[in-house]
Structure 1
Amino acid sequence: MSNKRILLVGAGLSGAVIARKLAEAGHSAVVLDERAHIAGNCFTERDSDTGVMVHVYGPHIFHTDDEPVWDYVNRFQTFMPYVNRVKTTSGGRVFLLPINLHTINQFFGKTLRPDEAREFIASLADTTIGEPKTFEEQALKFVGRDLYEAFLKGYTVKQWGCEPSQLPASILKRLPVRFNYDDNYFFHRFQGMPENGYTEMVERILNHERIDVRLGTRFTRPDAASFDHVFYSGPLDGYFDFELGRLGYRTLDFDRFSYNGDYQGCAVMNYGDLDIPYTRITEHKHFSPWETHEKSICYREYSRACGPSDIPYYPIRMADEKALLERYVELARTQQNVTFVGRLGTYRYLDMDVTIREALDTGDAYINALQGKGALGAFFVNP
């Protein structure tokens, strides 16, 4: 297997992990990113005034059941224990999320045991709904109108910019209630935060003699001609200069402010009421509970439609977007020696652990293809 010259477009998790995989296999990798920094949207940096490790593009909490991926990230950074415990303000009161036994008892002023709470919530559910087709129907079928309107409806309208009755039921994937006092937001076995931030982790992944990182460098399609293969983690529609139209995204605006002390006592406070324009406030020093800081850095987070000059965060994937996506996927499959990867390259919302797993598997698939064991086309995972 001769040495190949590989181009990775994007210095986020996808590009870094694939580059490292191929570099360790003896290939040469050039990693381009038009931003002035590595690590993509999980970029972290210390605030010079407070010393707080700030998640510049919003908080990223690592959680997974994939033990090899957990071992992989710990190879490049020590992950400290962290449990994501989210609060929400609704109707002038503070509750625990996800909806659990404490939330139910507090909201309804009861002292229900698990079995009693299960029966009580079942009595509130809308039994006229058969197979839920929309987000709203999914919520009403399982938790009833009171909990839906207090904790799900307003937040969803602000996050997605439309009524929950217009969103598919799949967005609300699992039962949004627990009948115990477990307020760990995630179900996964492994959860933590990198001790010195994600930027240092990605920097270490990219620290290999066969990897050349070029920041502040914009990719153009003619660049691909001097490489044996391209792994592209930028926007799928952007690769084709949006010639078929733009895929829809939601973007985020952050109102960053400092506070002398502890602003809210937790890392994440959601706001479910529609009369509050932001979806949540994140207090970043609480993402590093092993550190102590007198001052604090907070973000008020606003969601809106993504414009041409904005950073795309959440793919919308409604009917119109899916139709356009199919056309771009067909166009992508006509390209030679280009594989589209990651959240933007495949137009899918991906957690970090899934991004890393797919990057590792994509790198393996390319190596196998070079050895005549299968082929790697435009997508390792079908969008």
Structure 2
Amino acid sequence: MQKNILIVGAGFSGVVIARKLAECGHKIRIIDRRSHIAGNCYDARDQETNVMVHTYGPHIFHTDNKEVWDFVNQYSVMMPYINRVKATYKNRVFSLPINLHTINQFFNKTCSPDEAKALIASKGDSTIETPLTFEQQALKFVGKELYEAFFKGYTLKQWGMQPSELPASILKRLPVRFNYDDNYFNHKYQGMPQQGYTSMIENMVEHPNIQVELNVDFSDDDRGGYDHIFYSGPLDAFYHNKFGRLGYRTLDFDRFKYDGDYQGCAVMNYCDQDVPYTRITEHKYFSPWESHEKSVCYKEFSRNCEEGDIPYYPIRQMGEMTLLHKYLDLAEKEESITFIGRLGTYRYLDMDVTIAEALNTAKIYLQSLSNQDNKMPVFTVNVR
């Protein structure tokens, strides 16, 4: 039985679900309030330099999930790309994540891997048994000097909060390596779409059963007339912020051009607290298979998200969780709607996780159609 489905949001979450359901014969209408598809992954060529610019900040594809990797390769040629991040601290440049070269350079040593492990162990605060905060996690495992150099100031700027107020789980994502590997990610599959993310998503929605409408906002009137809705907008906005706004961090960009190479790498973090921006990205380095004489760069500034801003990073902390549970209690009573993606589930998600969850959501929906005992859930992941 063909179903009429509304998908709110033309980012990865909505488009992946749309494609999988369209291939099974269902009619899909995608709406997006913006003037373009691809959400925050939207990219476009700068007319003057021809550099592919990641309009809402850089997105680098990395995953260990072969299903996800095979899926995106159906819609784009994925070019090899290794993310090698640099960091400026007190007028010196280091490699991130912290690796053997970073350690030797920072402490002016020539340590072997075993010597470096012993050195870092000696720097760590052994009095902290179970780290509860970001600061405690860093102090226990890398010590005060590396913490203050690479984490304290950057984290304060990125999150607008003292590291002592943030959960330890945030730092568990950041590795320390005792070799000279400066690949920022550990994943098996890493790359960039040759023609950009916008092109990739355009290819995904190229299907006779998919209709895309831009500059269209979701309204309560849209809740009728569809067999199911997949909603990737902000969860609190769906309920008109009746309990208040969930907390997000947003980004401001100072975009500038440079005749030549500005910094010699794609990403340069600025860890000093007195530097107002968190990093500078040079976008031609995200397409190393291309050659460009001129450059397009972004300075990134992080701040609290206000009304009308684009929400980037959900702030899942103690105060936010109380408010979030009020919205989840409402949402879980809904019928014929599933909340998806970073905004719909109020979770930070990398692209590969977003796609994996979307593929799984489509599978669950198709299973619910074939078996009436399997009711389509409002959330297909644990959001509490």
Structure 2 SS opposite 1:293: coil
1:375 is aligned to 375
Structure 2 counterparts to residues 206-285 of structure 1, below 5 A: 206-285=205-284
- Give the counterpart letter for 1:53 in structure 2: M
SS in 2 for 1:76: coil
- In structure 2, the residue matched to 1:65 is 64
**Shift of residue 374, structure 1, vs aligned partner:** 2.0
Match of 2:17 in 1: 18
Amino acid at match of 1:187: N
Distance 1:347 1:197 in 2: 26
Counterpart in 1 of 2:178? 179
- After TM superposition, give the deviation of residue 176 of structure 1 in Å: 3.4
Deviates more, 1:267-276 or 1:168-177: 168-177
Deviating more after overlay: 192-201 vs 317-326: 317-326
Q: Give the match for residue 83 of structure 1.
A: 82
Percent identity over paired residues: 64
Q: What do the CA deviations read for 1:152-181 (whole angstroms, capped 9, x no partner)? A: 100000000011001010111146311000
Following superposition, the deviation at residue 4 of structure 1 comes to: 0.2
Q: What CA deviation, in whole Å up to 9, does each residue of 1:45-100 have, x standing for no partner?
A: 00000000000000000000001110100100001000000000001100000000
Q: SS of 2:254's equivalent? A: strand
Amino acid in the other structure paired with 2:355: I
Counterparts of 1:189 and 1:122, CA distance in 2:
29
Q: How does 1:31-110 map to 2 (within 5 A)?
A: 31-110=30-109
Q: For residues 164 and 320 of structure 1, what CA distance do their matches in structure 2 show?
A: 16
Q: Structure 2 unaligned runs (5+)? A: none
1:123 maps to 122
Worse overlay, 367-376 or 327-336? 367-376
- For structure 1, the residue ranges without an aligned partner over 5 or more in a row are none
SS of the residue 2:79 aligns to: strand
Aligned residue number for residue 188 of structure 1: 187
Q: State the Cα deviation string for residues 327-368 of structure 1 (Å, max 9, x = none).
A: 111100111101000000000000000000000110010000
- The answer as to whether partners of 2:7 and 2:14 remain within 8 angstroms in 1 is yes
Contact 2:97 2:174 (8 Å CA) reproduced? no
Q: Does the CA contact (< 8 Å) of 1:11 and 1:40 recur in 2?
A: yes
Residue 142 of structure 2 aligns to a residue in which SS? helix
Q: Secondary structure at the match of 1:226?
A: coil
Matched pairs, number? 382
Q: CA deviation at 1:221?
A: 1.8
Partner SS, residue 348 of structure 1: coil
Judge conservation of contact 1:365–1:375 (CA < 8 Å) in 2: no
Over residues 11-39 of structure 1, what are the superposed CA-to-partner deviations in whole Å (9 max), with x where a residue is unaligned?
Answer: 00011000001000110000000000000
Q: Report deviation, 1:299.
A: 0.1
C-alpha displacement of 1:376: 1.6
The reply on whether 1:28 has 2:27 as its aligned counterpart is yes
Residues 308-347 of structure 1: matches in 2 within 5 Å? 308-347=307-346
The residue that corresponds to 2:154 in the other structure is 155
Tell me how far 1:382 sits from its aligned partner: 2.0
CA distance in 1, matches of 2:53, 2:213: 24
Tell me which amino acid in the other structure corresponds to 2:28: A
1:141 aligns to what SS in structure 2?
helix
Supply the distance in 1 between the matched residues of 2:310 and 2:139 (Cα, whole angstroms).
33
2:376 aligned partner, one-letter code: L
Give 2:132's aligned residue.
Answer: 133
Q: Deviations over 1:99-148 (max 9, x none)?
A: 00000000000000000000010000000101001000000000000000
Q: Quote the residue 1:361 is aligned against.
A: 360
Q: Distance in 2 between matches of 1:145 and 1:158?
A: 18
How many Å separate the matches in 2 of 1:120 and 1:214? 58
Secondary structure in 1 matching 2:149: helix
Instruction: Quote the Cα distance in structure 2 between the aligned partners of 1:376 and 1:153.
Output: 44
The 3 A distance-change label for structure 1 pair 261 and 191 is same
Query: Which TM-score applies when normalising by structure 1?
Result: 0.99
Q: Name the CA distance, whole Å, in 2 between partners of 1:175 and 1:154.
A: 16
